[in-house]
Amino acid sequence: MAYMENHPTYHAVKIRGMLKDVIKHCREDIEKVSEPKAQAIFETTAEVLTGLMTAYNHYETQVEEAMRH
């Protein structure tokens, strides 16, 4: 569904897409480095952003009760 630029969901969709890109990048970088601390921070970043991306998805779809008000 396409939204006008002044609609909040337009921006939520864009931000969710950017989060998805960063998550993908972090997970790819885990395979590129051998330092365990770097791997851990990249994985932690991906997990935290996945949770945030889920929150954006709930906002867009209004599936969560808190997002309906």
Give residue 16's pLDDT. Answer: 94
List C-alpha distances in Å: 21 to 15, 31, 35, 39: 10, 16, 22, 17
Q: Does a structural domain hold residue 65? A: no
State the CB neighbour count (10 A cutoff) for residue 66. 9
Give residue 60's pLDDT. Answer: 87
Q: With CA atoms as reference, report the closest residue to 10 among 46, 64, 59, 55.
A: 59
Q: Does a structural domain hold residue 32? A: yes
Report how many domains make up the chain: 1
Q: What is the pTM of this model?
A: 0.82
Q: Does a structural domain hold residue 40? A: yes
Of 11-15, 24-28, 49-53, give the lowest mean pLDDT range: 11-15
Average pLDDT, the chain: 90
Q: Does a structural domain hold residue 52? A: yes
Expressed as residue numbers, the domain containing 26 is 8-60
Q: Does a structural domain hold residue 30? A: yes
Rounded distance between C-alpha atoms, residue 12 and residue 27, angstroms: 22
Q: Does a structural domain hold residue 47? A: yes
Q: Does a structural domain hold residue 54? A: yes
Q: Does a structural domain hold residue 69? A: no
